[in-house]
Structures are given as structure tokens and as C-alpha cells.
């Protein structure tokens, strides 16, 4: 998907719509915060913090929170939710924090968007205090994630990669290569539920991949592809539900 600069522009196009998607991600936010033992004494950094919903949940536990994101647009929305929090624009591969600044660093579906996943994890390790914890959430088994229907219809609208990916490692391999050891892990069901198709298209068309699809093809084609992706998950009551499984991992140096 490209560098932080590219990602920032894509994800920052419609951040207020993306907040609605983040709210639906609460199950895996809470699962990782539990696993990483986030509480009132925790200094927490969320990298790829988006509109700040995970930070809000951590702050409610009493944690002192900070956030970093590639997107100025996302950060503007996050600042409205968290006006007194240290929120910075930047690159996960070059974090603007001193070594050992945080007890817990979280990354919710963020490391996979980095060109150099191992380098990003090494930076996360650098800013984590000795004895601290690094929490990561990634997609689970594709066969158990109904978002694959949407990825399947949106994928053909995306441009071919300009260069080979910097790393073809799995997240587990990247964690090991960064000198980290997984101490806790698990899975959490996180369904995405939309009241109607129009809402589903509005929210999902604000994602970075969707914005890239619109740039490479057209807004109309992108929205049609998203609607097609949702066609098989319409429920009897007219809502749209995609059941998904996410993996969470807690690692230490």
C-alpha cells in the first residue's frame, strides 16, 4: 500500500466516516487492552491511532495515552475526541519519541501498512520501556473473515504494486525478526454490522484501500464494488453483517 505519506493522504480523506468503523472494532480493542494489562498506571502509545477510538478506551481505564498516525485528517478527528492528548503525525518506522517512553505500545491493524514491518517493530521496541509490552492486532484466518467478500470485489480496482513489498514475512516472523517474543495471544470475534447498504458503503468507502480504488478507477466503480461485496451478507431484517475473527498478540523484548 505504500509509505506513510501515501497512507496518510488515503486514510485522511474522510476520517469522520471512519470513526463509525472504529466503534465496531471495540471487541478487539478491549481484548488487546486486557491482554496487555492496560490500567491506571500505564503509559500507552497507539501507533496508527486513526480517529482515536482505541485511545479513548485506554483512557477510560485510567491510562496516560499518546497517539501517532500518518494522517493529519485522522488526527484532526482524534483531537476532537481527545483534546488534551499528545497526538502526533509521523511514521511508525521513525517514531518521534525517546527510547523507553511507554509501558505499552499498541498497533491495531497498522503494522501491515508499513513498507518495512521489521523496522517498524524495532522502532516500537525502542520506545517501549524495559519490561513493557507491545500489543498487536491483525486479521485472523481469511476463511473466517467475511470481509474477504469486500476485499475480493474491491481488489481488481486497485493499482498493481509499483515495487515488490519490502517484506513478505508474516506478522509472527516479523515479530521474531525484530527481537520480540510473544507472551500472550488469542482470537476475538469482531462482527461489522450496518443498518443498511447505504451506511455500509459510506463507512467502507472511507478506508484507505477504498480511496485508492477510487483514485485508480472511479468513485462510482469503487462504491459499486463495495455494494457488490456486501450483497451476500444481507440479513433477514435488512441489516448487513460481516463476521470476522482477529488475532491479538502481546510481545516483549
Cα-trace Rg, the chain? 18
What pLDDT was estimated at residue 131?
Answer: 95
In a domain, 103, yes or no: yes
pLDDT at 33 over 80: yes
- Given a cut of 70, whether residue 51 has pLDDT beyond it is yes
In a domain, 222, yes or no: no
Q: Is residue 154 part of a domain?
A: no
Q: Is residue 116 part of a domain?
A: yes
Is residue 207 domain-resident? no
Q: 166 falls in which pLDDT band (50, 70, 90)?
A: very low
DSSP letters, 73-142, are HHHHHHHHH-TTSEEEE-BTTB-SS-TT-EEEEEEES-GGGSS-HHHHHHHHHHHEEEEEEEEEEEE--G
Question: Is residue 30 situated within a structural domain?
Answer: yes
DSSP, collapsed to helix, strand or coil, labels residue 188 as strand
Predicted pLDDT of residue 160: 84
**Alpha-carbon span 91 to 9, nearest angstrom:** 13
pLDDT of residue 75: 97
User: Does a structural domain hold residue 202?
Assistant: no
Q: What is the CATH number of the domain that holds 48?
A: 3.40.50.150
Range of the domain at 76: 4-145+164-193+244-252
The answer on pLDDT for 126 being more than 90 is: yes
Q: Can you tell me the distance from the alpha carbon of 44 to that of 55, in angstroms, rounded to the nearest whole number?
A: 8
Structural domain contains residue 117: yes
Question: How many domains, the chain?
Answer: 1
pLDDT for the residue numbered 165:
44
For the chain, helix (H) and strand (E) counts, in that order, are: 11, 9
Burial of 252 (0-12, 13-18, 19+ CB in 10 A): middle
Q: 30, 192 in Cβ contact below 8 A?
A: no
Write down the pLDDT at residue 164.
Answer: 40
Amino acid at each position: 500500500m505504500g509509505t506513510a505519506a501515501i497512507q496518510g493522504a488515503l486514510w485522511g480523506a474522510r476520517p469522520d466516516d471512519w470513526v463509525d468503523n472504529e466503534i465496531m472494532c471495540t471487541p478487539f480493542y478491549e481484548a488487546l487492552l486486557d491482554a496487555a494489562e492496560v490500567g491506571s498506571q500505564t503509559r500507552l502509545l497507539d501507533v496508527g491511532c486513526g480517529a482515536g477510538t482505541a485511545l479513548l478506551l485506554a483512557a477510560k481505564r485510567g491510562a496516560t495515552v499518546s497517539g501517532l498516525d500518518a494522517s493529519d485528517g485522522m488526527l484532526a478527528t482524534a483531537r476532537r475526541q481527545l483534546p488534551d492528548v499528545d497526538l502526533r503525525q509521523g511514521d511508525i518506522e521513525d517514531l518521534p519519541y525517546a527510547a523507553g517512553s511507554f509501558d505499552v505500545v499498541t498497533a491495531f491493524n497498522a503494522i501491515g501498512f508499513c513498507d518495512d514491518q521489521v523496522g517498524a517493530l524495532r522502532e516500537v521496541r525502542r520506545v517501549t520501556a524495559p519490561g513493557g509490552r507491545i500489543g498487536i492486532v491483525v486479521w485472523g484466518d481469511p476463511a473466517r473473515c467475511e470481509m474477504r467478500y469486500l476485499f475480493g470485489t474491491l481488489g481488481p480496482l486497485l493499482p498493481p504494486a509499483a515495487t515488490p513489498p519490502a517484506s513478505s514475512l508474516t506478522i509472527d516472523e516479523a515479530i521474531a525478526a525484530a527481537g520480540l517474543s510473544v507472551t500472550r495471544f488469542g482470537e476475538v470475534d469482531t462482527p461489522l454490522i450496518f443498518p443498511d447498504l447505504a451506511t455500509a458503503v459510506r463507512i467502507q468507502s472511507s478506508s484507505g484501500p477504498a480511496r485508492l480504488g477510487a483514485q485508480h478507477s472511479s468513485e462510482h466503480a469503487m462504491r459499486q464494488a463495495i455494494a457488490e461485496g456486501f450483497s451476500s451478507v444481507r440479513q433477514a431484517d435488512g441489516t448487513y453483517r460481516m463476521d470476522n475473527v482477529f488475532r491479538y498478540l502481546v510481545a516483549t523484548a
